[in-house]
Structures are given as structure tokens and as C-alpha cells.
């Protein structure tokens, strides 16, 4: 508002002014008490002796509400009446259509029935008021003279042909009557009252009763109401068609059952497909773990390393196929009344033993091999020396001191440790063996394998480095030769300009932790780690483990292929995906990440 002032409301401006009276809010014609309001029982005002006029306007709000309620009720009644009439008309039309279709069916049946000679019906039947078909206007035209003479042919000859002509005339009359009846409105047709259909004035072919349920000729007791030939044909046709429809119904029922069975089978198959995984997991949960039976066959040396627990021992037993599953061995250990105690060392075992027999063999002192130990493929040198110490009883410090001078042991000049030259195998020593003898024996065994593989002494260093990478990265013997090709392709500047191997296993060796599978962003960016092949191109400065015969052979004979990437997507099975492009490799990495998410 101007000047910022706010105009108060009327009541606020005139506090002394009263609120307007209720009467002043009514229409002009209702003010001042004019036009008296009739009582609810006499809305028209008839009781007052006056002619009913326009409905008086209400004086008060209550009268206004009552008037609105009455008007709404009247409108609802009118709508209901209109809807009832509409429904009655639709039902009458539906009945008329059904009658017309029944008449058409009767005509079709009559037209298809073979014509046979007929004996003229009695005079009373032909002269009946309702006609041969029971409907008005269905009488054959015949002269009285011919009827008295007994002649039914126009040529004065007795026979059945003339009677057939007369019968045809009657049938045509029937058709005309039925056509007129079907074209007439649903109400007020000939032969009945205006409110009923079919008419009750005669016995017609078209009736509301189902011919299968009622006998159309049950009430015939005189010639006047005897059915015509068309009536009898129609009744016989209905019975015949009923028998004809039964096989079709049976055939439709059989097809319906077959379709239902097919749909049911499809539903069962779909449910089995989608529920196969959950059902399998549930069954495996309640089924006992896989296990062999018996004491096994052959002879295997199994090594328990210092610090190995029950789960580690169980996993190593499964890996060497001594037991069928680690779960079966763990279940056997937990089922014993006394907790088993395992001692480091080498044990004489067999292939494919039951979990119970394998546990008994590890607990039997007779199976423990004195001064015998095993070095697995890819094992780091520190762990190999620890196994030798546990089996021979030689302190680990003495073994490490014996391995501290690589050149004195015959290793290449580039070697700064014995890493890569402690060959994986089973070793047994006498009780008086020394630390120097143990270390030299392991190195000499490595030289023997390299010589047998055809590796020249000047090539030993590079071959052992590549073989150690293959041993740590390949998941199977077949993959070893593909990994060797990836290494060669990445070291080629023409195929991979950066020459970065980007192996997590080398990063792990530089950090001294081989318990992990993946690396962090910080570890991959750490340039202070000389074994970090994510930042340092080419081969690492030395071997990252002790390779076996297969890895040495793969280092010399890589498989042909364009691969530049690979990733192990299943750590349990060792499945590895090799890719030639970075896009393919990214898809494989996503597969590996999903595996980690699903398996913790």
C-alpha cells in the first residue's frame, strides 16, 4: 500500500458495527419473511389449500441443505430408472439375437436334410389355426375343391411330388415369418403380449428352452398341435449335432491338457534354472565334504614348515592331492577328542588318502623322515632355508651364513644372494650334515637342472630371473608358456614402449610380504622399491623365487601369441585370462574384482 500503511479490515475499522443479519444474506425474494417455507411432509404446499407452484426458496441454510439433499436423491432415482431401462433393452436385444440365431440354425439343418416322400397330413392338421409350424401365417395355400377331392397335386394326379411342393411353400412361409420376427423390436412381437417374447400364442420352432434339456414334442396329444416335418428335422438335428460335438469337446480337452502340461513343464524348467545355484549351495552346505577312501597309493613326501597351522597343513595336503579336500581334513582334526599337535619336518605320505588316514600318518612318528625336507616351486630362499633348518636341526643362522657368499657357491657375478638357485626338490641328509653342505647341495641341484634344460652358464642369470617370474605368476603348466610370451612382448619396445612388466609379484618381493595377491596404489607408485616393475622398466634386479623345471623350460620356449596382459581371475582354480589389448584386460580385471568381492 502507499506510504507503507496497511488498511485494516472493515471489522477492525468499525468495531461497533454489528455483523450482518442472516436474513440479509438470502436472495432478495426470500428476505423480509416472504414466501412461507412448506413443511417437509408437504413440500408442494397442497395442505394449505393453494395450487402447487414453484418450489419456494429456503430461508435458512438448513432448508437449503435439505433442498439440495432432496434434489440429489431425485436425480439418483432418475439415473437408476434410466439405467434399469437401458439394461432391460440390452437384455431384450440379446434374447432376440439368440432367437434369431436359433432360427437360422434350424433353417440350415432343414436345408441339409435329405428330402423323403411324405404322406399328406390329416385335414385337421393342415387346417389348424396355428399352422404346421405353430406360428401365424405359415399355412400352405390349397383350394377347398382339391382338399375335398383328396388331390394334393396341381395336375390332378395323386402322388408325393405335389405334396412336396406344398411343403416347400409352407417352409418358405416359415422363413418369411422368422425373418419378420427377427426384424421386429424386442417387445410387442406378433403372437404375444407387448411385454413378452417369444409369443405365447403358438408353439414355434424358436423357444427359450434348450432343445437338449426339454422334449419339444412332450405335450403333443392331438393332430392340431402335431409338429411339422421341419420341427421333427430340427429336433433330430439338435440331437445329432450333440453327438457330433462330443468328440470335438474331447479333442479340445486333450489339447488343453497338453498345453497345460507344456506350460507347467516350462515353469518347472525355468524355476530349476534360476534356483540351481542357490539349491546347489544349500545342498553342498548340508552334504559332507569331499573325501577319499582308504590309505591311498604310491609315496609322497609332505613337508610341515615351521609355524604352519592346521588350515595351512590342510591346504597343502589338498594341493598335493594327498586328501580330496581341506575341509574334510579340518573336519577330521576337529572331530578328535584330543587336539592333534603337528611338528615341522618331512613325512612319508601317499596319494589320495582319506582324511582320517592322512591325519594318522602325520601323527605317526614312524612316518617322519629325519633330516628330510621339501622345497616347493617358487618358494623364497628364506623359507627354503627355514625348511632345511627344521628338518636337519641346523640353526637357521648357520644356513644363512653359508648362503651369504653367492660367488663362493658358483652363482653368476650379478647374484647378490642365493635366491633363484635353491632348486625345488625333496632332500634327505644324514645326521652329521653341516650348513655349508646343505646349501651347496641345493645350489648344485639347480645347476644340474639348468644344464639339463640346455641353458648356457652365461645365460643362467637372465633365465633364472624370467623363470622365477613365470613360477610366481603362472597358474598352471600351460599358462607358464603364455606368461613367458607376455614377458618377452613387454620387454620389446616396438610392442610395449614403456617396457614395464607391472607384476604384483615383484612388488611383493620388494616389500617382503608374499601373503597378499594384490597391491595398493601407494605400493605401485613407490620408486624406492627396486623390484617395483610398475615404475622400473625391464627385468627386476634379481630372481623373486626358486623356479622349477617347467618354469625354466618355459623361459626358453615361450608360446607364440600377441598377449601383453594377463590376470588370474580365480585364485582357487588358477584360471588366468590373457589379453592383447588394454580394453580386454580391463574387462578381465573387473572379473577378478568380482571374484574378490564374492569370496571375501
- The pLDDT tens digits of the residues spanning 116-155 come to 555 455 444 444 444 444 444 444 444 444 444 344 444 4
Within this chain, do residues 558 and 478 fall inside the same structural domain, yes or no? yes
Contacts of 573 (CB under 8 A, 6+ apart): 475
DSSP 517: S
Judge whether 514 lies within some domain: yes
Domain C-terminal end among 426, 453, 480:
453
Q: How far apart are CA 504 and CA 473, in angstroms?
A: 9
Q: Tell me: the pLDDT tens digits for 485-526?
A: 999 999 999 999 999 999 999 999 999 988 877 789 999 999
Q: For residues 546-556, b (16+ Cβ closer than 10 Å) or e, as one string?
A: bbbbbbbbbbe
Instruction: Examine residue 408 and state whether it is found in any structural domain, yes or no.
Output: yes
DSSP-derived letter for residue 24 is: G
Q: Give the pLDDT score at 245.
A: 55
Cα dihedral 309/315/318/323 (nearest 10) = 30
Residue with grid cell 601407494, as numbered in its chain: 522
The CA–CA distances, whole Å, from 508 to 45, 377, 524 equal: 108, 17, 10
For the chain, how many structural domains are there in total?
Answer: 3
> Rounded to an integer, what is the distance from CA 225 to the centroid of its chain?
69
Please give the pLDDT value at position 354. 94
- DSSP-derived letter for residue 455 is -
Average pLDDT value over all residues in the chain:
75
What are the residues facing 300 on neighbouring strands?
A: 349
On whether residue 80 sits in a domain, the answer given is: no
Q: Find the mean pLDDT for residues 267-295.
A: 74
Q: Are residues 506 and 481 in the same domain?
A: yes
Q: What is the CATH number of the domain that holds 335?
A: 3.30.1490.480
Q: Report whether pLDDT(181) > 60.
A: no
Q: Are residues 561 and 491 in the same domain?
A: yes
Of all residues in the chain, the percent with pLDDT exceeding 70 is: 64
Nearest to 301 by CA among 373, 222, 357: 373
**Model pTM score:** 0.48
Q: Is 106 among the domain residues?
A: no
Residue 292 within a domain: no
Please tell me the predicted confidence (pLDDT) of residue 142: 44
Contact in structure between 501 and 487 (CB atoms under 8 Å):
yes
Neighbouring residues of 443: CB distance < 8 A, sequence distance ≥ 6: 409, 410, 411, 418, 421, 422, 423
The predicted pLDDT at position 131 comes to 44
Residue 281 has pLDDT above 70, yes or no: no
Distance in angstroms (rounded) separating the CA atoms of residues 438 and 422: 10
pLDDT at 339 (0 to 100): 86
- One domain for residues 491 and 557: yes
- Residues 586, 480 within the same domain: yes
Domain range for 326 is: 297-369
- pLDDT of 116 reads 54
Same domain, 434 and 515: no
d(CA 91, CA 288): 71
Q: What is the largest CA-CA distance in the chain?
A: 153
Of the candidates 57, 84, 59, 83, which has an alpha carbon nearest to the alpha carbon of residue 71? Answer: 57
Q: Are 372 and 314 in contact (CB under 8 A)?
A: no
- Is the domain of 591 the same as that of 523? yes
**Residue 357 scores a pLDDT above 60:** yes
* Local structure of residue 301 (DSSP, 8 states): E
Which is more confidently placed, 67 or 159? 67
- 254 or 393: which carries more pLDDT confidence? 393
H/E run at residue 570: strand 565-570
- Same domain as 311, residue 426: no
Whether residue 212 contacts residue 236, with contact meaning beta carbons closer than 8 Å, is answered with: no
> Please, which pLDDT band fits residue 68 given cuts at 50, 70 and 90?
confident
Higher pLDDT pick, 210 / 456: 456
Both 351 and 446 in one domain: the answer is no
Of 64-78, 83-97, 253-267, 368-382, the one with minimum mean pLDDT is 253-267
Looking at 338, 369, 400, which one is the last position of a domain? 369
The distance in angstroms from the start CA to the end CA of the chain is 72
pLDDT of residue 310: 86
The answer to whether residues 350 and 293 touch, using CB atoms and an 8 Å cutoff, is no
**384 occurs within a structural domain:** yes
Arithmetic mean of pLDDT, 96-121: 74
* Shared domain check, 499 and 588: yes
Extract the runs of DSSP E, i.e. beta strands, from 259-378: 297-304, 345-351, 368-369, 372-374
What is the distance between the alpha carbons of residues 278 and 117, in angstroms, rounded to a whole number? 79
- 141 alpha carbon, distance to own chain's centre: 76
- What's the pLDDT at 220? 47
* CA 442 – CA 421 distance, rounded (Å): 7
d(CA 117, CA 209): 31
Is 352's pLDDT higher than 80? yes
10 Å CB burial of residue 428 (0-12, 13-18, 19+) is middle
Round the CA-based radius of gyration of the chain to a whole number and report it: 55
Whether 61 maps to a domain, the answer reads no
The predicted pLDDT at position 271 comes to: 72
- Domain end point (choices 351, 369, 387): 369
The owner of cell 433353417 is: 107
pLDDT tens profile 16-66:
333 444 333 444 444 444 444 444 444 444 444 444 445 555 567 777 888
Residues 312 and 427 placed together within one structural domain of the fold: no
Dump pLDDT digits (tens) for 197-254. 444 444 444 444 444 444 444 444 444 455 666 666 665 555 555 555 555 555 566 6
Out of 95-99, 141-145, 371-375, 423-427, the most confident range is 423-427
Residue 434: pLDDT over 60: yes
One domain, residues 364 and 386: no
pLDDT in tens, 312-343: 999 999 999 999 999 999 999 999 888 888 88
Give the pLDDT of residue 455.
96
Residue 547's nearest CA partner among 485, 460, 482, 489 is 460
Strand, helix or coil for residue 175: helix
Judge whether 2 lies within some domain: no
Amino acid at each position: 500500500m502507499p506510504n507503507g500503511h496497511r488498511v485494516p479490515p472493515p471489522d477492525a475499522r468499525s468495531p461497533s458495527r454489528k455483523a450482518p443479519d442472516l436474513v440479509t444474506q438470502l436472495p432478495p425474494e426470500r428476505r423480509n419473511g416472504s414466501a412461507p417455507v412448506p413443511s417437509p411432509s408437504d413440500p408442494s404446499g397442497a395442505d394449505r389449500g393453494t395450487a402447487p407452484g414453484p418450489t419456494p426458496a429456503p430461508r435458512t441454510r438448513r432448508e437449503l441443505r435439505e433442498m439440495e439433499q432432496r434434489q440429489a436423491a431425485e436425480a439418483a432415482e432418475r439415473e437408476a430408472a434410466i439405467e434399469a431401462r437401458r439394461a432391460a433393452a440390452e437384455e431384450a436385444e440379446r434374447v432376440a439375437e439368440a432367437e434369431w440365431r436359433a432360427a437360422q440354425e434350424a433353417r440350415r439343418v432343414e436345408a441339409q436334410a435329405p428330402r423323403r416322400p411324405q404322406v399328406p397330413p390329416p385335414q385337421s392338421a393342415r387346417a389348424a389355426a396355428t399352422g404346421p409350424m405353430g406360428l401365424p401365417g405359415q399355412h400352405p395355400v390349397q383350394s377347398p375343391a382339391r382338399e375335398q377331392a383328396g388331390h394334393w397335386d396341381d395336375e390332378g394326379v395323386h402322388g408325393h411330388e405335389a405334396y412336396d411342393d406344398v411343403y416347400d411353400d409352407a417352409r418358405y412361409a416359415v422363413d418369411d415369418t422368422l425373418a419378420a420376427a427377427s426384424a421386429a423390436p424386442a417387445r410387442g412381437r406378433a403372437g404375444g403380449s407387448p411385454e413378452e417374447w417369444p409369443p405365447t400364442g403358438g408353439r414355434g420352432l424358436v423357444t427359450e428352452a434348450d432343445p437338449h434339456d426339454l422334449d419339444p414334442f412332450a405335450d403333443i396329444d392331438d393332430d392340431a398341435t402335431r409338429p411339422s416335418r421341419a420341427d421333427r428335422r430340427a429336433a433330430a438335428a439338435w440331437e445329432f449335432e450333440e453327438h457330433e460335438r462330443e468328440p470335438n469337446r474331447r479333442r479340445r480337452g486333450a489339447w488343453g491338457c497338453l498345453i497345460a502340461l507344456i506350460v507347467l513343464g516350462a515353469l518347472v524348467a525355468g524355476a530349476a534354472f534360476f534356483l540351481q545355484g542357490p539349491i546347489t549351495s544349500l545342498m553342498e552346505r548340508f552334504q559332507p565334504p569331499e573325501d577319499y577312501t582308504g590309505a591311498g597309493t604310491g609315496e609322497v613326501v609332505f613337508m610341515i614348515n615351521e609355524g604352519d597351522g592346521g588350515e595351512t597343513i590342510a591346504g597343502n595336503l589338498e594341493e598335493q592331492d594327498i586328501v580330496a579336500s581341506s575341509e574334510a581334513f579340518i573336519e577330521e582334526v576337529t572331530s578328535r577328542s584330543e587336539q592333534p599337535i603337528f611338528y615341522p619336518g618331512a613325512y612319508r605320505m601317499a596319494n589320495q588318502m582319506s582324511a582320517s588316514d592322512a591325519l594318522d600318518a602325520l601323527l605317526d612318528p614312524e612316518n617322519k623322515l629325519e633330516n628330510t625336507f621339501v622345497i616347493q616351486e617358487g618358494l623364497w630362499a628364506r623359507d627354503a632355508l627355514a625348511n632345511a633348518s627344521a628338518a636337519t636341526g641346523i640353526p637357521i643362522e648357520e644356513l644363512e651364513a653359508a648362503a651369504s657368499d653367492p660367488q663362493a657357491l658358483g652363482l653368476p657375478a650379478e647374484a647378490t644372494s642365493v635366491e633363484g638357485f635353491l632348486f625345488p626338490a625333496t632332500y634327505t641328509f644324514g645326521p652329521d650334515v653341516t650348513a655349508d653342505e646343505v646349501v651347496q647341495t641345493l645350489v648344485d641341484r639347480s645347476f644340474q637342472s639348468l644344464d639339463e634344460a640346455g641353458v648356457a652358464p652365461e645365460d643362467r642369470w637372465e633365465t633364472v630371473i624370467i623363470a622365477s617370474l613365470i613360477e610366481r605368476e603362472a597358474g598352471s603348466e600351460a599358462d607358464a608358456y603364455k606368461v613367458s610370451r607376455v614377458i618377452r612382448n613387454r620387454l620389446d619396445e616396438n610392442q610395449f614402449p614403456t617396457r614395464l612388466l607391472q607384476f604384483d609379484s615383484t612388488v611383493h618381493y620388494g616389500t617382503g610380504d608374499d601373503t597378499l595377491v594384490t597391491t595398493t596404489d601407494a605400493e605401485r607408485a613407490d620408486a624406492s622399491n627396486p623390484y617395483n616393475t610398475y615404475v622400473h622398466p625391464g627385468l627386476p634386479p634379481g630372481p623373486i623365487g626358486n623356479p622349477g623345471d617347467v618354469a625354466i623350460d618355459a623361459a626358453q620356449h615361450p608360446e607364440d601369441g600377441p598377449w601383453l596382459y594377463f590376470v588370474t581371475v580365480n585364485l582357487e582354480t588358477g584360471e588366468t585370462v590373457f589379453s592383447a589389448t588394454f580394453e580386454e584386460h580391463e574387462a578381465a580385471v573387473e572379473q577378478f574384482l568380482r571374484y574378490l568381492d564374492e569370496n571375501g
